[in-house]
Amino acid sequence: MKAFQTLLTGKTPLGTWLMAGAPNTAEALGHAGFDFLVVDMEHVTIEFSDLAHILRAIGCTPAVPVVRLAWNDQVLIKRAMDAGAETLMLPFIQSAEEAKLAISYMRYPPHGVRGVAAVHRGSRFGTLPGYLANAHERAFSILQLETPEAIANLDAIAAVEGIDAIFVGPGDLSASMGHIGDIGHGEVQDLIAHAAKAAKRAGKPVGIVGPNPEMVQRFIDYGYSFAAVASDMGLMTGRAAEWLGQLRKAAAPSATSQSAY
């Protein structure tokens, strides 16, 4: 069974986003108990040489790595899979046609158009028996829907052979609806809830990311199959702000101790 697929057989898998691009951070959060970690190559300055190190770090933990690429691009997908990525998240899928291309990029001929190399990290440097024939059976595809148009096409996208899961991107979705930075807006929430129901009818697991536990729990109540909460940077800066606020409040002179003149 595919690594990410095993997570979907039990309780709702919980993950977080990796925005620091640091192997140590990835490894630490993998040991912290997250079920999956999303390596963000869309908005973070992570190169493919960095990716290999981050995947090695996560590989030391029980967490499953998910690599979110910058685009649904044949070359990017090939390089990520050669670097050892098996679960890929592809952003801004708008139609069944784009979904079909994504799946073809992840598969060797005759199932697709992925470029062939004999020795790379994905094949354990050529030591994994039957890799070329069976690589598509190890790969797990997560396609991101990030606009109302994409969600309107969810049924057609989900019907494409080889798609394993759908992922709703609330940030871009809210922006495309005219509510940038406000994923809690009623119209955005209604569409997020609708997407969960549509994916369930289509028989596909559907994931999402939220900024805090309260929002993530709301998404799970909508019917989302897996969810990420915040990011490594968000968790770090949030705790920093919390603790600094406590200490500075305690250290501030009280009104009664200040001079009256």
43 is catalytic: yes
Q: What is the sign, positive or negative, of the torsion defined by CA atoms of 20, 22, 23, 25?
A: negative
DSSP for 171-189 reads HHHHHHTT-TT-TTSHHHH
Nearest to 204 by CA among 133, 139, 156: 156
Q: Among the options 31, 43, 53, 111, which is catalytic? A: 43
CA angle 22-24-27, nearest 5°? 110
Rounded to whole angstroms, how far apart are CA atoms 69 and 97? 18
**Residue 166 bridge partners (DSSP):** 143, 206
159 alpha-carbon distance from chain centroid: 21
Q: Rounded CA gap, 105 and 76, in Å? A: 9
96 DSSP β-pair partners: none
Q: Could you tell me which residues are beta bridge partners of residue 256?
A: none
**Residue reference for tokens 């029980």:** 62
Q: What angle in degrees, to the nearest 10, is found between the helix axes of 74-82 and 96-105?
A: 40
Give the whole-angstrom CA distance, residue 231 versus residue 18: 6
Active-site amino acid positions: 43
